Structure formats: C-alpha cells, structure tokens
C-alpha cells in the first residue's frame, strides 16, 4: 500500500515538473508576435498548474506540517485558468490589438478580479502563525462554510469560462467558410477538444468532491483522482500546443478590419464561358437580403461584381492557390472584403469556401478526364491540401467519389 501511495505522489512531482517545462518552452521566442502573446497566457496556466501539482504533493505527503506557510498559497490560481485560456484563444484568433480595442484595459482587468479578490480574502489566513494554519487545515477547514463557498465559486467560475470558450470556438468554426477556401489547420479542433476535456475534468472533480467529502466523509483521495485528470489534460494540451501549425506557423486573424472600399469601374471585363455556379431558390435569396439592406451596392452593381468574380476565377485560376482567402480575392478585384462577401452570398447563393472549392472540383474533373495522373496528384494540382478533403468535397458536389467518377466512364457528369 505504501508503494502505491509513493507511486501516486510521484505523479504529482511529474505533473509539476512537466507543467513548468512546457510553460518555459511556450515562453520561447521565434514565433509571430500574436502567437507569442497568446502562448504567454498559456504559460501562466501551466505555471499555476505546476505549483498546483507541487501543492498537492505537499498536502498528500503531510509536508505542510513542516512548511505550514505554503497552505492555501495557490488557492487563487484556479481563477487564472479560465481568463488566461480565454485571452489565449481571443489573442490567437484576433490579435492583441483587437483585444485591446474590443475589450479595453478596464474590462480586461475585470476578468482577473476574482483572482485578486480571492487573494485579498486570504490575507488574514496568510498572516496567521504556522501552528494556527495547521490547526485550521486539519480541524476547522472541513466544516468551514467559507472554504466550501470558495470551492463552489471556483467550479462555477471555471465552468462559465469553458462554456464561453466552447461558444467562441463554435462561432469561429462557423464563420471560416466566409473567409477561407481551405479549412485545414484553422478549425481549432484540438482547442475545442481541450475545452471538452476540461469539462470532463470538472465533472470528475465535482463527482469526487461529492463522493469523498460529502458522502463518505473521506477527503484524502480527492486530489489524487482530480489531479490525475488534470495531468492528462496537461499532456494533451502540451502536445497539441507544440505540434499544431496554427500556433507556430501562422497567425489567425479572422476579425481584421476590412480593406477600405475602393472606387472601381463597373465594366464587363471578359466574357463568361461557364454557367452560373448555383441556381438558388428565390425564396432563399430573399432571406439573405435583409443582412445587406444598408449596403451601398445597387442590384446592378451586385450582378456586375458577380460577373467579374466568375470571370476572374476562370481567367486567372486563382482557386488553384490553396491559401486563397476572401481578403486575397478582394485585393485582386479592388473590392472591400465585405462587399465581395455580400455578392458571393447574395447573388451567387453560397459562401466563399463553397465558391472556390466548387471551382477546384470542376478543375479536378477536367484533369481526371484528360489525364491518367493519380488522384492525390490531381487533388494537389486542383488546390486541395489533402486527399481526404478532396474526396469529401468532390462527392458533396458531384455525388461520386473521385475514384467512382473515374471508373464510371459512361455516367460521368461535369459539375454545373
């Protein structure tokens, strides 16, 4: 039994060392400014977890009797996890300048107010002598309603932030199609999974708290079970943070201010050789229009810009650029991204992602018909980053997988 306890306590030391190590790695330089700022918030979380694991080791081994002044030192750190994870996500998606403009210093400070208030409330305890702290911890704490209230508030605080983060990531994912033609590396699936994993850890903690403290009356196992969950989250978070390309290789900035609208000539440049990209139900289009009631574009301008968009894509094959974004296309057409998005949604009846990828699928169809190249090469030549995305979108738009399309010579049909 003693061996099991020692092994379990060794996990706390492992968690403390790993958290500290990962936090220091994420503080390293060599990253874009926005990413560097974002990972600093992540480092704060990891440093607080590092102390949390060490604190659990001190409690579980009874070392607090030798070092009583360490008791409750990190009690307020729980109030850092939610705000830091929130600012990490917002900074990663929008950049620090956007955070300052949207939230402001005063409102940003409010996120850390629970941490500061909890720390101030603990000052009287910190001023106690060592024996008084030990007596409180061993005799008074289990029945102290204030300590229970603090635990409940910590759980509620973290739960609210996890919910806010899940909503934020969901909205981010839902809006990607309006801005990007390729979603690989942008959906933040890993961060969503971390949030869900956090919810699991929170539920386990609540279950352990009820089971061990308020049902059986035994409290010594609470930290052992809950910190095991946090240890798992720690290693998943560290692995994902170090390996995901959206952290170290690019800066996500979906909410950048649009380019200034430029005066452009309404001209019929080039002839349209392809059919309309999508024949949309008039009722569906009518539902889209209220969002653009205040747009300065006239119906004639909308139709003309749609004509220019189709012609530009066909003449330049800009869709073959796997990184093509709404902003890139808007620059090429001397339009504001907002006006271009309006035209794509209102006149063509789709979002930017669908517009570009339908062209990519059409291009792939022509390559399949005219060459014997393998499907992966065709996918890459058509602007797709992966074969899985290529297969999924090809079937979505044609009803057949690329291999089925190639095999069924008699039933081939070109995307309209």
Maximum average pLDDT range among 163-172, 230-239, 262-271: 163-172
Question: Which part of the chain has CATH 1.20.1070?
Answer: 2-248
Alpha helices in 317-351 (DSSP H): 326-332, 337-346
Highest mean pLDDT among 80-94, 177-191, 276-290, 335-349: 335-349
Cα(345)–Cα(39) distance, rounded to whole angstroms? Answer: 35
Pairs from 326-332 (Cβ < 8 Å, separation ≥ 24): 326/178, 326/179, 326/180, 326/352, 327/179, 327/256, 327/259, 330/259, 331/259
- What is the CATH number that goes with domain 2-248? 1.20.1070
Q: Is the pLDDT of residue 340 over 60?
A: yes
pLDDT at 361: 95
pLDDT per position as a tens digit, 186-219? 778 878 888 887 887 788 777 777 776 666 665 5
Model confidence at 255, pLDDT cuts 50, 70, 90, reads very low
Reply yes or no on whether the pLDDT at 178 is more than 80. Answer: yes
What is the structure's pLDDT at 52?
87
CA 89 to chain centre: 6
Structure confidence at residue 128 (pLDDT): 94
- The segment with the largest mean pLDDT, out of 22-31, 120-129, 174-183, is 120-129
The pLDDT tens digits for 109-121 are 889 999 999 999 9
Q: Which residues contact 93 (CB under 8 A, 6 or more apart)?
A: 168, 172, 252, 253, 254, 255
Q: Which residue has the higher pLDDT, 318 or 250?
A: 318
Query: Which of 16-30, 185-199, 232-246 has the least mean pLDDT?
Result: 232-246
Band (378; pLDDT cuts 50, 70, 90) = very high
Section 250-277 average pLDDT: 33
To 5 degrees, how large is the angle CA 196–CA 14–CA 211? Answer: 55
Task: Classify domain 282-411 at the CATH class level.
Answer: mainly alpha
Average pLDDT over residues 72-81: 91
- Look at residue 283 and tell me whether its pLDDT is greater than 70: no
Instruction: Return left, alpha or beta for 31; rule: phi > 0 is left, psi -120 to 50 is alpha, else beta.
Output: beta
pLDDT classification of 394: cutoffs 50, 70, 90: very high
Q: What is the pLDDT of residue 290?
A: 53
Average pLDDT score over residue span 63-74: 92
pLDDT at residue 272 in the model: 28
Q: What is the pLDDT of residues 92-145, one digit of tens each?
A: 776 555 656 555 556 678 899 999 999 999 999 999 999 999 999 989 887 888
pLDDT band at 2 (very low <50, low <70, confident <90, very high): low
pLDDT in tens, 268-282: 333 222 233 333 333
Residue range(s) in the chain whose domain bears CATH number 1.10.10.60: 282-411
CA dist 229 and 54 (Å) reads: 15
- DSSP helix/strand/coil, 325: strand
| Each residue's pLDDT tens digit, 28-66 | 755 666 667 778 888 898 899 899 889 888 988 889 999
Q: How confident is the model at residue 284, as a pLDDT?
A: 39
Higher pLDDT, 261 or 140: 140
- Residues of the chain with pLDDT > 70, as a percent, come to 73
Say whether pTM exceeds 0.75.
no
Dihedral in degrees, nearest 10, Cα atoms 308, 309, 312, 313: -160
Gap between the Cα atoms of 31 and 75, Å rounded = 32
The mean of the pLDDT values for the chain is 78
């Amino acid at each position: 039994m003693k061996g099991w306890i020692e092994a379990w306590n060794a996990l706390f030391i492992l968690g403390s060392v790993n958290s500290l190590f990962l936090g220091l790695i994420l503080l390293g330089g060599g990253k874009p400014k926005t990413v560097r700022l974002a990972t600093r918030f992540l480092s704060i979380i990891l440093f607080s977890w590092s102390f949390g694991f060490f604190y659990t080791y001190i409690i579980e081994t009874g070392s607090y009797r030798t070092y009583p002044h360490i008791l409750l030192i990190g009690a307020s750190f729980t109030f850092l996890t939610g705000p830091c994870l929130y600012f990490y996500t917002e900074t990663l998606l929008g950049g620090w300048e956007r955070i300052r403009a949207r939230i402001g210093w005063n409102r940003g400070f409010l996120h850390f107010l629970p941490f500061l208030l909890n720390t101030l409330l603990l000052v009287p305890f910190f001023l106690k002598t060592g024996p008084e702290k030990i007596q409180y911890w061993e005799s008074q704490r289990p029945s102290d309603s204030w300590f229970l209230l603090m635990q409940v508030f910590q759980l509620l605080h973290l739960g609210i932030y996890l919910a806010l983060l899940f909503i934020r990531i969901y909205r981010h994912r839902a809006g990607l199609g309006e801005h990007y033609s390729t979603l690989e590396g942008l959906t933040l699936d890993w961060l969503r999974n971390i949030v869900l994993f956090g919810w699991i850890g929170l539920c386990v903690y609540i279950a352990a708290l009820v089971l061990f403290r308020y049902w059986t009356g035994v409290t010594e196992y609470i930290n052992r079970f809950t910190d095991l969950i946090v240890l798992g989250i720690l290693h998943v978070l560290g692995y994902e943070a170090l390996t995901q390309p959206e952290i170290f290789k690019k800066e996500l900035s979906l909410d950048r201010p649009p380019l200034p609208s430029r005066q452009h000539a309404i001209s019929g440049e080039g002839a349209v050789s392809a059919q309309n990209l999508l024949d949309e139900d008039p009722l569906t289009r009518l539902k889209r229009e209220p969002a653009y009631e205040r747009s300065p574009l006239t119906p004639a301008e909308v139709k003309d810009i749609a004509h220019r968009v189709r012609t530009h894509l066909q003449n330049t094959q800009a869709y073959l650029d796997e990184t093509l974004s709404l902003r890139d296309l808007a620059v090429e057409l001397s339009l504001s991204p907002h006006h271009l998005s309006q035209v794509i949604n209102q006149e063509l009846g789709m979002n930017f992602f669908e517009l570009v990828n339908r062209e990519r699928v059409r291009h792939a169809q022509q390559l399949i018909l005219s060459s014997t190249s393998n499907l992966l090469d065709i996918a890459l030549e058509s602007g797709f980053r992966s074969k899985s995305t290529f297969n999924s979108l090809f079937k979505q738009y044609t009803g057949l997988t690329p291999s089925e399309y190639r095999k069924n010579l008699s039933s081939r049909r070109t995307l309209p």
